[in-house]
Amino acid sequence: MARIVMKFGGTSVADLDRIQSVARRVAYQVLAGHEVAVVVSAMAGVTNQLVGYCQKLSPLHDAREYDAVVATGEQVTSGLLAIALQELGVEARSWQGWQIPLRTDGAHGKARIEAIDGEELIRRMRIGQVPVLAGFQGIGPDHRLTTLGRGGSDTSAVALAAALAADRCDIYTDVDGVYTTDPRIVPKARKLAKISYEEMLELASVGAKVLQTRSVELAMKQRVRVQVLSSFAEPTDDAIQGTLVVDEDEIVEKEIVSGIAYSRDEAKITVRRVPDRPGIAAAVFGPLSAANVNVDMIVQNVSADGTTDMTFTIGRADLARTQAILKAAHAEIGYADLLTDPDVAKISVVGVGMRSHAGVANTMFRTLAEKGINIQVITSSEIKVSVLVGAEYTELAVRALHTAYGLDAA
């Protein structure tokens, strides 16, 4: 018997049929003897509609009122799922963030969870009642509704699992787990049985959007075991079918490389021949940071004549804005030329095994060279090596690397 938090996203509760299907899935776990709490998102499309209302009435609307409006989506689903569960003979009740209470800070629209009082919920779970929590929201210090930002229900679920000391937090999504890479590019991609928090974070931040980054960070910090599962499969037994996101220590046979991630939403900028003097990086990146432009890979080579070239990547959507900012700062920075390239892709090799295995990066470079793919920029962290290549090489690079690291399914 385990204590489980089950979380269902918007597509999993898109209509009444899907809500009834979720109820059966929850009922199955209850009948198997588990203590279950559920976290739900708004029905697919509802949040977008409510956000649209607020934006149309006022582009710069009061975030506190936005929260009061948008939080209703999850409230509806929580009540409906409780009704559907009761109809199956499962004792259930809905809980709003303010009822538990689930306390957040006062950053309306993007609040952070501060505390969840899990005692009453645990007491009820022990006597067989299923709490159905409206995800994505809580109550702020001003006694008003707060929301956690888009995708915040994942974070609600992980935080609730921590507060309930749950054995596992099952996140039901429209994929059935975390794969070694995108199966649309590599049909031989394998579903991972387990992956570490660190690897999941690296995969999430390079575009494998299975879980919200914040929820993984929270799971890592609170040591919550998270499972990613498909909400479209039949509810069968308790055998783990998805991917478990756990502490590195729980993974006995560590793969050297767990996955290949890619992102095509990048653009490359090179600032040519800037003076090689202290403070020059701050002069380049200060104005971008002030304008909330997120800079990713940064490379700087020192050259002999007292100037240097700086290359970095940004989100492609920010390209025009970034160009304008750097042109405005031309006199201050003093560069010779500004080159931009929107046709780039970032390919990343991720794996905790890299820590103890040399040659991982070299395998990457050699594999890409063999395919005639030119590497424009290289960066690396403890468990990741990323390269920037021409966008047209994305699929070729991902497939070649997937094979080179022995990730192809038999």
User: By the criterion CB under 8 A, which residues form the site for a copy of itself?
Assistant: 16, 19-20, 50, 53-54, 56-58, 61-62, 64-69, 71-72, 75-76, 78-80, 82-84, 86-87, 93-94, 96, 98-99, 143-145
Smallest separation, CB 65 to a copy of itself (Å):
4
Give the β-pairing of 35-40 and 3-8: parallel
| Nearest one of 49, 34, 40, 47 to 18, comparing CA atoms | 40
Q: What angle do CA 275, 277, 283 make, to 5 degrees?
A: 80
Question: Of 16 and 281, which CB lies nearer to a copy of itself in the complex structure?
Answer: 16
Minimum CB distance to a copy of itself, residue 38 (Å)? 13
Considering beta carbons, is residue 19 or 178 the nearer one to a copy of itself?
A: 19
Which C-beta is closer to a copy of itself: that of 139 or that of 344? 139
- Kindly state the smallest distance separating residue 83's Cβ from a copy of itself, in Å: 5
CB of 7 to a copy of itself, least distance (A): 19
At residue 33's C-alpha, the angle toward residues 25 and 178, to 5°, is 45
What is the Cα 302 distance to its own chain's centre? 36
Closest distance of CB 92 from a copy of itself, Å = 8
The least distance separating a copy of itself from the CB of residue 319, rounded to whole angstroms, comes to: 32
The answer to whether the peptide bond before residue 287 is cis (omega within 30 degrees of 0) is no
CB-side neighbour CA atoms (13 Å) of 370: 12
- Which letter, b or e, does each residue of 92-107 get, where b requires 16 or more Cβ atoms within 10 Å of its Cβ? bebbbbbebebbbeee
Closest CB to a copy of itself among 88 and 256?
A: 88
- Taking the C-alpha atoms of residue 31 and residue 35, their distance in angstroms, rounded to an integer, is 10
Nearer Cβ to a copy of itself (138/242): 138
Q: How far is the CB of 77 from a copy of itself (least distance, A)?
A: 9
Rounded to a whole number of angstroms, the minimum distance from the CB of residue 114 to a copy of itself is 19
Please identify, using beta-carbon distances, which residue of 110 and 191 lies nearer to a copy of itself.
110
Of 3 and 61, the one with the shorter C-beta distance to a copy of itself is 61
Helix axes 213-222, 197-205, angle to 10 degrees: 170
* 143 or 327: CB nearest a copy of itself: 143
Tell me the two tokens of residue 206: 């390079």
Helix (H, G, I), strand (E, B) or coil at 247: coil
- Which among 2, 4, 26, 3 has a CA at the least distance from the CA of 13? 26
Both tokens assigned to 140? 């702020």
Supply the DSSP string of 191-230, one letter for each residue.
B-SEEEHHHHHHHHHTT--SS-HHHHHHHHHHT--EEEEE
